[in-house]
Amino acid sequence: MKRVLVVPACEAGRGGGHLVRSGTLGAELGELGVRAFLCPAPSRRDTDGLAFARSVLESLGIEKELILSAAECAGEKWDLIILDRFSTPRKEYRQWASLAPVLGIDEGGPCRASFDFLLDLLPRLSGNFPPNWVRPGLLSLPKNRRPSFYAQAEPGKFRVLVSFGVEDHEGLAPASARILSGLTEDAEIELLSPRRDLPPEYRRREFVPCLREELASYDLLITHFGLTCFEALHARLPVLLLSPTAYHEKLCLKAGLPSLGTGKKGLAALERLCRETGRGPGRAGNRDAFLAPFREQCAAAAGRLGLEAQPEQSLGQFIAAFDLVRADTRRCPVCGSEAASRVLGRFGDRTYRRCAFCRTVYMNRAVPPPVVYGKNYFFDDYKKQYGKTYLEDFPHIREMASLRLRTIKTLLGPGAFKKKIRLLDIGCAYGPFLAQARDEGFDCLGMDPSDDAVRYVKDSLGIPAVQGFFPETSPPGGGFDVITLWYVIEHLGETGRALDALESLLNPGGILALSTPSLSGVTGRFRRRLFLERSPQDHWIIWQPSMMKKLLASHGMILEKIIVNGHHPERFPLIGKCPGWILRFVKTISVLFGLGDGFEAYGRKRG
């Protein structure tokens, strides 16, 4: 059973939204069979704050023994840590990151660039650190919904809810309620506020653990940009936003939600709005005039944000589906270093980091890649990418194999073929390289995870082959003079272990030859984010030619030759569709400076 730790924010000024959301998530994960614990406000030491957090979590059904202190969490083993902290301090983040992979929910602040995975439930302003997912539909949305944004909750009444969270330092909630109550006759104003020094003109309630299920009983919600606003949109309740800060206002405008403005200016706008509708929205005729523009704008925003349809998945189901392939997301899979790594990009289920020690770019995944190395991989999938199936491309791949074998023969030397030269091709697919190597005098063995490909190599080409994943499956014998991996090494997650295995299979002086995409090419240099985004989901490592000398040396091999290929002049910035002579000139520059999007590396085992 997976063990997940949820850490909510409940410091002063953070309100209760993060606390309620984390408690609801923890309860749901428990129902889904995930052992979920909560650690409220680890950086806060005041007894009242922690007592309040514990009381809220217990009111949401969280058992006392599942609520831990930070000290209790440090000695436990976790599969995933979820921070719903609003803005985690650097020191605190490092403590959590040392225990397990970390997922941030709606996380901002100085550590946003460092999280293993980021999930934004509420849309944010554009920034330098986009999240893996933007999924408003994963919010804990209400089950009770109004028939439409144009429906009336209760005949003869106009029910207005004013809520600005557990903490409202700007006093927007009571000020808004006073304006509405003073300008209307039969409207029912309900104020959700912990303040007790309020006049009795309107109904007042304090903290409501499950407010979202009551939203359908109102006609209008006045609030700020936040969880309650999005819950109201799903419940088809018109919202009118009044922002406490300029940042809230920018978020509101980006989401296309009806806004009064910020602070005192927003309150003045609300007062003007009420006056423009006569005696205010309490009368039936004026009520419709008051609500009409908000209804249309809210309906459009709900559809645009994906809040109109019923959610296909809850936040708890989304987290429960996590199946991290690498439990130690910061340890480099190539050199093993645990030095601080930097996030280069996040795309859906994957995050790319660069090792601070060896500069390797590697991928972490929330779930295993959706790739199956079966028949479709070489036929349907291959044809989508290259316009023909793998077997249809067989002759062209043999031509490339001939060029590669020429380099290998040169490195082996003229006297090498006085004895039998054993060659192992890992990731051999349907065997075009093996077929060419056999015809040129090599004693060949193939290896591939696809049983259909292995069967074709053995039955149709008459070349021995074994089925399995390297290095988990080891080829029989060992003692190879040549080992080749053509566009395979990027598929090997624990590359350091794989290189050790390759070195052990090679004879002294044997040749290791490989090819792989290059981050140093024109696309990786000038459009790195696009390069990473389009990188296949089963490419665990993104290589660069400059890494190979040091990498091979650390595994008992010497780099003999680098050949940069995959030159695409049309991918250079500002080139596009140009006359042929310009493209030829740019290609010459690409070759001269090694700006191809792929490369081949040839190494020799020492001795």
Q: pLDDT tens across 254-265, in order?
A: 889 999 999 899
Do 215 and 232 meet the contact criterion of CB atoms below 8 Å apart? yes
Q: Output the pTM of the full model.
A: 0.85
The type of residue at 47 is T
Which pLDDT does position 40 carry in this prediction? 81
Which pLDDT does position 282 carry in this prediction? 45
Which pLDDT does position 357 carry in this prediction? 87
Which parts of the chain register pLDDT below 70? 1, 11-16, 41-50, 52, 166-167, 169, 182-186, 194-209, 277-286, 576
Question: Residues near 532 by Cβ (< 8 Å), separated by ≥ 6?
Answer: 344, 345, 347, 352, 361, 542
Q: Is the peptide bond before 174 cis (omega within 30 degrees of 0)?
A: no
Which pLDDT does position 46 carry in this prediction? 47
Which has the closest alpha carbon to 148: 223, 234, 212? 234
Compute the distance between CA of residue 202 and CA of residue 212 in angstroms, rounded to an integer.
20
- Extract the tokens encoding 465: 């082959």
- Extract the tokens encoding 595: 């700006």
Q: Long-range contacts made by residues 49-56, C-beta under 8 angstroms, separation at least 24?
A: 49/10, 49/11, 49/12, 52/10, 53/8, 53/10, 53/19, 56/10, 56/16, 56/19, 56/20, 56/23, 56/207, 56/209
Compute the distance between CA of residue 458 and CA of residue 434 in angstroms, rounded to an integer.
11
What distances in angstroms separate CA 559 from CA 412, 503, 548, 589, one per listed residue? 14, 13, 7, 25
Beta strands 342-347 and 350-354: pairing type? antiparallel
Do 537 and 551 meet the contact criterion of CB atoms below 8 Å apart? no
Do 600 and 563 meet the contact criterion of CB atoms below 8 Å apart? yes
Do 82 and 61 meet the contact criterion of CB atoms below 8 Å apart? no
Cβ burial of 502 (10 Å; 0-12, 13-18, 19+) is buried
Domains observed in the chain: 3-138 (3.40.50), 158-304 (3.40.50.2000), 375-519+545-568+601-605 (3.40.50.150)
Question: Is 179 in a helix, a strand, or coil?
Answer: helix
What distances in angstroms separate CA 465 from CA 98, 275, 439, 441, 450, one per listed residue? 43, 84, 16, 17, 11
Q: Is the dihedral of CA 219, 222, 223, 229 positive or negative?
A: positive
- Extract the tokens encoding 141: 């949305």
Compute the distance between CA of residue 437 and CA of residue 435 in angstroms, rounded to an integer.
6
